[in-house]
Structure 1
């Protein structure tokens, strides 16, 4: 089981009861930035966490504050090079942004990914998510090509080779 604390936030493994509240957090953040919620496309994984994450050696985490879901973060293996994963669904509600939670979440995801032996991390995002773009670029993610999600116009990669023993 994954449990991390950041200030008074709990980061924990997804549970079935989280399906709709987690989807609602993601849907509302997308709407805030003028991006569409795609339950039959790019967001299908949120509604089918068992198949997309749990069955593939991935993880889907929930961020709670005072028993309310305020964010999500996840990753799963992808076929882009050897031992690659994609970080997905990293969303925080507006009320909890600017506290360092996003950076902490990214670091915890990276630690989990390294501990499972993966060698590279990919992230797709949209330019309108300026805070996310800044976070990734300031944490060693390199812009590259090959965006696979229509709503996204940026893709980043970070090699973990130098970090491995």
Structure 2
């Protein structure tokens, strides 16, 4: 998969992206005083094959001038009906405000819908104000049952 948005390339993750993608996520977490958890909530970034590819999901990176500047992913989950969870939507501050996050979310939703899933779940932290605003303005409904320690919000969107 390869998509273009302005001067950005959104593409499938490759093994060579492992460290760069992890660095993007770690950097954004740090920006918001959240902790990188290599043995916990972020283990999936270090083991993309197991958590995403082999599990029936996808992990994408956003590339700009041969640098990884963002990530986004999803995988099937047992919560809900024919459900996935969107995870690891992180964009470096220098490329925010260009509509990239909204475009990435829309493309993830399109890919998820094409694969026949019916529900999309997202967990986030209130401190990630831009993410909360994006999800709420994109039709995600607050729900209950947060499963990730550093998160305090969970949302669901029903696909019809």
TM-score scaled by structure 1?
A: 0.96
Pairing of 1:51-90 with structure 2 (within 5 A): 51-90=50-89
Report the alpha carbon displacement of residue 132 of structure 1 after superposing the two structures with TM. Answer: 0.3
- Distance in 2 between residues matched to 1:81 and 1:24, nearest whole Å: 31
- 1:40 and 2:15 matched: no
Aligned residues, how many? Answer: 160
- Distance in 1 between residues matched to 2:144 and 2:95, nearest whole Å: 31
Q: Structure 1, unaligned stretches of length 5 or more?
A: none
Q: Secondary structure at the match of 1:23?
A: helix
- Distance in 1 between residues matched to 2:97 and 2:139, nearest whole Å: 20
Report the alpha carbon displacement of residue 99 of structure 1 after superposing the two structures with TM. Answer: 0.3
- 1:112 and 2:111 matched: yes
- Distance in 1 between residues matched to 2:2 and 2:107, nearest whole Å: 10
- 1:156 and 2:155 matched: yes
| Partner of residue 23, structure 1 | 22
Q: Structure 2, unaligned stretches of length 5 or more?
A: none
Report the alpha carbon displacement of residue 138 of structure 1 after superposing the two structures with TM. Answer: 0.2
Deviations, residues 8-50 of structure 1 (Å, cap 9, x unaligned) = 0000000000000100000000000000000000000000000
Runs of 4+, deviation exceeding 3 Å: none
| Partner of residue 127, structure 1 | 126
| Partner of residue 102, structure 2 | 103
- Distance in 1 between residues matched to 2:91 and 2:72, nearest whole Å: 9
Q: Secondary structure at the match of 2:110?
A: helix
Deviations, residues 75-127 of structure 1 (Å, cap 9, x unaligned) = 00000122100000000000000000000000000000000000000000000
TM-score scaled by structure 2?
A: 0.99
RMSD (Å) for aligned C-alpha atoms: 0.4
Pairing of 1:3-22 with structure 2 (within 5 A): 3-22=2-21
